[in-house]
Amino acid sequence: MGPTQAETTCRNTKTKMDYTIVGFPRIGENRELKRATEAYFRGGQSSSELLDQVKELKAGQWEKLRECGVFMPPSHDYSLYDGMLDTTWMLNAVPERYKRLGLDATGTYFAMARGYQGEHGDVTALSMKKWFNTNYHYLVPELEDGMTLRPEHMDFLDDFIQAKELGIETRPVIIGPFTFLKLAHCSGDKRDFVQPLAEAYADILNAADHHGVRWLQIDEPSLVTDLSAEDVSLFRALYEKILAVRAGNHETRTLLQTYFGDVRDCYGELIALPLDGIGLDFVEGKQTAQLIARYGFPNDKTLFAGLVNGKNVWRCNYENALKQLRDIRKVTENVIISTSCSLLHVPYTTAHEPHLPKEVTAHLAFAYEKLEELRELGRLADLEHPAQDVAYSANVLLHSDGPLHANPEVQRKVAYLTEKDFIRNTPRKERQKIQREQLRLPLLPITTIGSFPQTESVKRNRANLHKGVISREEYECLVRADIRRCIELQEQLGIDVLVHGEYERNDMVEYFGENLDGFIFTRNAWVQSYGTRATKPPIIIGDISRKAPITTPWISYAASLTSKPVKGMLTGPTTILNWSFPREDVPGSVSMYQIALALREEVLELEKAGIRIIQIDEAALREKLPLRHADWHSEYLDHALRAFRLCHSGVQPSTQIHTHMCYSEFEDIIPEIDALDADVITFEASRSKLTILRALVQNHFETEVGPGVYDIHSPRVPSVTEIATSLKMMLRDIPADHLWVNPDCGLKTRNLPETVSSLKNMVRAADCVRATLL
């Protein structure tokens, strides 16, 4: 494959002002890392073969970044699975249950990520949570009493040395001690780990000095969250200890990098530390510009200014960015232009999307195109009259355009919404009585979250449709056959509320976007979600409306095959928005309401077709919650709740509305989740050790609830006893007539034998626990 336009341009132009990036995508332009890792999981290659492939992928990436003129390209931002897991491994913070397995290093690492079940033992994986306000998931470290933290696995130096052997000097990236400690689960007092962490990070800095590292990037995104006085004191104590323990003479410069917001709670303490560089976010950081204008920036430090949005795919507005840069240079001239955060959150390049119209791609900037934007900004920053430059003029013209697809009728519908459109007339407690009488479900109803395994044949059928190998009619016939088998399997297993398996869907968001106006879709724009899992987020380019029925034909067909209730499966408005690349020219609430109106049409159509249980997934409700508590309701949460209620407020009281949420910290928004006015909600819970139960009790949660009884992101099969134990724990806090039994999440990523074994054990466990309640 030849070089992209961005690569070619970067090779031929040198800017005076240095520019860099916080981090880069790491799955490979063609998802090479995913394929290599999954081959290792299947036993198709050894750990050494996997690591050799990863070395090649890293080398190619560093070379491309060097060619594009990136100042000291980052290294060690490339992970086998997750950066927090890498930090856990580096610090030897490996819980004893994984060490006891006696696996090799790679096996132990992946046991923490995915769990392990085999000849060496049976362990669950580390908990998995959303990385701040993104759709990326991280592994939660577990700090055990008596655990000795010491940097044994210096992988960041291995990467630095490998790159240096290639003639490329990189800037190693590690997650900082404050963020690591804040996000870790600790069985005791976290303060007990301050001194060990400080000593470990001092050792890391000394090792970097010893190996000739010129710049070391320490990521501290937790600094942009609401910090208490105790938090600020903890941050200061950690870094004062690190810098005090560190050897006196050192060459390595330290860059403390923040992203996803501003550091208003600790700016004074941050700039007072003897650091060499500080990375600040000028895109999501609402107060970043005011902070440096008001309090200044030290002359002995370099400001890494995050001016190019690392989380969205729209072209940077040069006029706005250069104005910000001019204001920054009034405070300090010691500036390096950067991205607002790692480019991990965007695809590689628009060059892989030749099918998209040029008038669309002209507006888009993926990772390689963002390198071009950084180069252009660096060049324009040194011009006396940048407005006279051709590139600047073209960028201004680009941003003067309105939305690519405007729909005045959709805009009118949103404008004329009234309060009654957001309210279901019958109170929930009355609805619960009606639904129990009509649905006649047993105690502890058993269901799944929605999707069933996307087998190779399912994927092959979809690929053959796109290639023209089979017709649309032939494809739909194959999908109906899969649905029929799925219904038969669930009936054999003894599941009470069935699903159709979602075989017609490529992705829970992409599928709906394809059936809505206002979206465009890529073919190769993959973005990592966790580990080997990647998605292709749709891109919202205009006003959103429903083209035609989306799910009703498939759900109706499934319901015709059984006498048991079948759930209608929809993805909710906030999740569709959050797992797409949103517009930047309208508030997110506008897009939320437009999607909700489209889904409302679908919900009412499902009800008219006789579907009495409809699940509207809001898996991503929590993840885009503003990181500052003061912004929760005014900017996001109130709109998200109203958009969900808009979807279902028109249904009859006998129609049971479900929703599902996963892999986020829900405990602090339990009242708001109850206010969604759903009838049943399923949560991810097993991987987070059922911690949500206490919050449900404390907040007098009214919605019927199904905390997940086993982790679907792990290949291990849970035992009947394990699931029964979890259900008994749940029944201590949740009334039996309010408790549902279900896995943590959809089963799409699992294989069929694992799924069948796990569901069999889930049904047996539920039957055992039911017997004790009768």
pLDDT score of 403 = 58
Position 8 pLDDT exceeds 50: no
Going by pLDDT thresholds of 50, 70 and 90, the confidence category of residue 247 is low
Going by pLDDT thresholds of 50, 70 and 90, the confidence category of residue 485 is very high
Going by pLDDT thresholds of 50, 70 and 90, the confidence category of residue 123 is very high
pLDDT score of 246 = 64
Question: Taking residues 582-592, what's their average pLDDT?
Answer: 93
Residue 245, number of CB atoms within 10 A of its CB:
16
Q: Quick: pLDDT tens for 49-58.
A: 999 999 999 9
Position 12 pLDDT exceeds 50: no
pLDDT score of 249 = 62
C-beta of residue 113 within 8 angstroms of C-beta of residue 82: yes
Going by pLDDT thresholds of 50, 70 and 90, the confidence category of residue 405 is confident
C-beta of residue 592 within 8 angstroms of C-beta of residue 573: yes
DSSP 8-state code for residue 718: P
pLDDT score of 2 = 38
Q: Quick: pLDDT tens for 79-96.
A: 999 999 999 999 999 999
Give CA–CA dist 765/518, Å, rounded.
45
Give CA–CA dist 513/580, Å, rounded.
9
Q: Which of 214, 205, 204, 211 is nearest to 169 (CA)?
A: 214
Catalytic residue among 648, 660, 713, 738: 713
Question: Taking residues 534-549, what's their average pLDDT?
Answer: 94
Q: What length does the chain have?
A: 774
C-beta of residue 144 within 8 angstroms of C-beta of residue 95: yes
Q: Quick: pLDDT tens for 745-756.
A: 999 989 999 999
C-beta of residue 178 within 8 angstroms of C-beta of residue 135: no
pLDDT score of 471 = 96
Position 1 pLDDT exceeds 50: no
High-pLDDT (> 70) share of the chain, %: 97
Q: Quick: pLDDT tens for 688-728.
A: 667 788 888 889 999 999 999 998 888 899 999 999 999 99
Q: Quick: pLDDT tens for 34-76.
A: 999 999 999 999 999 999 999 999 999 999 999 999 999 999 9
Residue 432 token pair: 């619960």
Question: Taking residues 533-552, what's their average pLDDT?
Answer: 94
Q: Quick: pLDDT tens for 289-323.
A: 999 999 999 999 999 999 999 999 999 999 999 99
Question: Taking residues 221-225, what's their average pLDDT?
Answer: 98
pLDDT score of 7 = 40
Q: Quick: pLDDT tens for 493-523.
A: 999 999 999 999 998 999 999 999 999 999 9
Cβ contacts of 201 within 8 Å, gap of 6 or more? 151, 176, 177, 218, 238, 242
Task: Identify the three-state secondary structure at position 504.
Answer: coil
Going by pLDDT thresholds of 50, 70 and 90, the confidence category of residue 663 is low
Position 13 pLDDT exceeds 80: no
Position 614 pLDDT exceeds 60: yes
pLDDT score of 390 = 95
Position 152 pLDDT exceeds 80: no
Q: Quick: pLDDT tens for 415-426.
A: 999 999 999 999
What's the chain's average pLDDT? 93
C-beta of residue 444 within 8 angstroms of C-beta of residue 766: yes
Count of helices and strands (H, E) across the chain: 30, 22
Position 584 pLDDT exceeds 80: yes
C-beta of residue 324 within 8 angstroms of C-beta of residue 306: no
Rounded CA Rg of the chain: 26
Least confident of 145-149, 233-237, 291-295, 637-641: 145-149
Position 223 pLDDT exceeds 80: yes
pLDDT score of 148 = 82
High-pLDDT (> 90) share of the chain, %: 85
Q: Is 713 a catalytic residue?
A: yes
- Whole-angstrom CA distances from 312 to 5, 40, 69, 347, 582 are 20, 32, 22, 10, 8
Looking at residue 484, its amino acid is R
pLDDT score of 5 = 41
Q: Does pTM surpass 0.75?
A: yes
C-beta of residue 108 within 8 angstroms of C-beta of residue 119: no
Position 633 pLDDT exceeds 60: yes
Q: Quick: pLDDT tens for 751-774.
A: 999 999 999 999 999 999 999 997
pLDDT score of 16 = 74
Q: Quick: pLDDT tens for 332-366.
A: 999 999 999 999 999 999 999 999 999 899 999 99
Going by pLDDT thresholds of 50, 70 and 90, the confidence category of residue 486 is very high
Cβ contacts of 655 within 8 Å, gap of 6 or more? 607, 611, 612, 613, 614
